[in-house]
Amino acid sequence: MGLLGLPDWSLWGIIAVVFLVVEIMTTVYVALGFAIGAAVAALVVYLMPGLPLVIQALIWAAVGLVAWLALSRWDARRRATRPDINKFDSRDSLPPTDRRRRSGSEEDDPPR
C-alpha cells in the first residue's frame, strides 16, 4: 500500500493523469513523455506488486526521459518540414491589380 492507502499503481496512474492535464494546457510536448513514463510505471507496479519505490521512480524517470527525447526529436523534424506561418506577405491575399498598385508600379494602371 502506498500513500493515502491507495495501491502504488493507482498513484502512478494519478501522476500520469496530472501530467496529461498539464500537457493539455501546454502544446510543446513537455509533460507527455513523463505522463507516458508514469503510465508505464503504473503498469509495471500493477504486474509486479511490492516493487521498491526507488525502482519505481527509476522506471518512471528512464521511460519518461526516453519518451520525452523521442517526442522532442519527432516534433523538431515535424516543425522543420512545415512552413513557417510567420512568413506571410499580406499582398498575396490581394487581387493582382491591387498588388501592382501597392508595390509602387501605379503607372501600369489606367487613370480613373
For residues 39, 44, 47 and 48, what is the CA-based torsion angle, rounded to 10 degrees? -140
What pLDDT was estimated at residue 41? 95
Could you tell me the pTM of the whole model? 0.67
The full set of domain ranges for the chain reads 3-84
For the stretch 36-56, pLDDT in tens is: 999 999 999 999 998 999 999
Please state, in angstroms and rounded to a whole number, the distance separating the CA atoms of residues 33 and 70: 8
Instruction: Say whether pLDDT at 71 is over 80.
Output: yes
Average pLDDT over residues 56-64: 95
Crossing angle for the helix pair 32-47 and 53-81, to the nearest 10 degrees:
140
For residues 34, 18, 79 and 74, what is the CA-based torsion angle, rounded to 10 degrees? 30
